[in-house]
Amino acid sequence: MTKKIERFLAEQKPATPCLVMDLDVVADNYRRLHAAVPRAGIYYAVKANPAPEILKVLGKLGSSFDTASVAEIDMALATGVSADRLSYGNTIKKKSDIAAAYARGVRLYAFDSEAELGKIAEAAPGSRVFCRILTSGANADWPLSRKFGCDVEMAKKLLLDAAKRNVIPHGVSFHVGSQQRDPGQWDSAVEQAAWLFRECEEAGVTLSMLNIGGGFPTRYRRTVPGMAAYGASIEESLSRHFGNRIPDIIVEPGRQMVGSAGIIQTEVVLISKKSEDDAKSWVYLDIGKFGGLAETMDEAIQYPIVSHRTGAPVPVAIAGPTCDSADIMYEKADYRLPADLEIGDKLEIRAAGAYTTTYASVAFNGFEPLKTYCI
């Protein structure tokens, strides 16, 4: 909770639920990441929170942008940055969207399959392309699984193929899984990337860029290592595996940049029990899985939830307001709220600046998408 957000909530009394983003914290997070990995070009992953004010602040600080659709490309361009500061990092793109990105000046594209490489070569001739490799996603609270990337043997074949087409094989990317709590997880991916660089070089194709993805964490209920630990671990891996030939490095932070900068204010709609002797109270909020808290799926992301009351903490289950039984945020995780909590109370859901507004449904049960205030 920052003083600025506290004052805004006290003075403006906005309708709930709402997300309040402190832009100073976003700027701090940018500087912290830059200090931790000074050699890396920063491409903010727009999907984490695309509020125009946030994109503007980051653009001014020198950030580039990782986008996944034509709409995100347009949001990034609307801040005034030029198209050469954008990458189209989604490995799953319609050919018509690649053509639209190309028309806007985007010249950097991700792929992880032969078919996607073919689409890029045809719709974005002359562009630089990078191949995404698979990672295990181990130790990440929000792993990205096997949906993205290919194995290194296939990546080698694809990058050598790219050299024969009308595109420039530029480099390699990976993502170690979001909310990655282990700074050591970059090492094996960097090692595999270095192997790929060498193999391609031997085959006459020189790669020049390594994109080490996002994954840097936000502090939720559990402590996480600081950015310096990630920076040190990554730098050591780069030196160990690339020696004195470290390529240009790109990072694509999402969660780290905006997570800690936002607080959702929510209202308690109902407090109830399922039987007279129920040990747990059920606390129903005016926000749930469909209103922006989708990352509570399997209770993966556990936001700190804070009440201003001072009663003894008692165990609670916490659920959303919709008529869908999946709309329960926390039932297994040990959440406690003050015994004197009342219907109508406001609660703060902290560290909620990433992956909330973009995950809110348009009107499930008629509930509006999550409103954002950037201050």
Both tokens of 14, joined, read: 């906005």
By the rule CB under 6 A, 141 interacts with ligand PLP = no
Instruction: Supply the minimum distance, in Å, between the C-beta of residue 149 and ligand PLP.
Output: 10
In angstroms, the CA 218 to CA 176 distance is 15
Instruction: Supply the minimum distance, in Å, between the C-beta of residue 109 and ligand PLP.
Output: 12
One of 171, 215, 291, 292 touching ligand PLP (CB under 6 A): 215
One of 48, 168, 190, 352 touching ligand PLP (CB under 6 A): 48
Q: Which is nearer to ligand PLP, 231 or 254 (CB)?
A: 254
Yes or no: say if 297 and 330 are a contact pair by the CB < 8 Å rule: no
Q: Which DSSP state fits 371? A: E
Chain-centroid distance, C-alpha 133: 18
Instruction: Supply the minimum distance, in Å, between the C-beta of residue 306 and ligand PLP.
Output: 23
Q: Measure CA of the first residue to CA of the last residue in the chain; give whole Å.
A: 13
In terms of Cβ atoms closer than 10 Å to its own Cβ (0-12, 13-18, 19+), residue 75 is middle
By the rule CB under 6 A, 22 interacts with ligand PLP = no
Instruction: Supply the minimum distance, in Å, between the C-beta of residue 45 and ligand PLP.
Output: 3
Q: How many helices (H) and strands (E) does the chain have?
A: 10, 18
Q: Respond yes or no: is residue 374 known to be catalytic.
A: no
In angstroms, the CA 99 to CA 107 distance is 11
Q: Which is nearer to ligand PLP, 57 or 250 (CB)?
A: 250
The residue ranges of DSSP E strands in 79-166, in sequence order, are: 86-88, 108-111, 128-132, 140-142
By the rule CB under 6 A, 167 interacts with ligand PLP = no
By the rule CB under 6 A, 86 interacts with ligand PLP = no
Binding pattern for the stretch 172-191 against ligand PLP, x by CB under 6 A and - elsewhere: ---x--x-------------
By the rule CB under 6 A, 321 interacts with ligand PLP = no
In angstroms, the CA 319 to CA 72 distance is 31
One of 89, 169, 231, 321 touching ligand PLP (CB under 6 A): 89
One of 119, 128, 170, 255 touching ligand PLP (CB under 6 A): 255
One of 22, 72, 235, 252 touching ligand PLP (CB under 6 A): 252
Instruction: Supply the minimum distance, in Å, between the C-beta of residue 102 and ligand PLP.
Output: 19
In angstroms, the CA 314 to CA 219 distance is 23
In angstroms, the CA 209 to CA 131 distance is 10
One of 143, 149, 214, 247 touching ligand PLP (CB under 6 A): 214
Pairing of strands 346-349, 305-306: antiparallel
In angstroms, the CA 77 to CA 75 distance is 6
Q: Judged by CB under 6 A, how many residues of this single chain contact ligand PLP?
A: 16
Instruction: Supply the minimum distance, in Å, between the C-beta of residue 132 and ligand PLP.
Output: 7
Interface residues with ligand PLP (CB under 6 A) are 45, 47-48, 66, 89, 175, 178, 213-216, 252-256
* Active site positions, annotated: 323
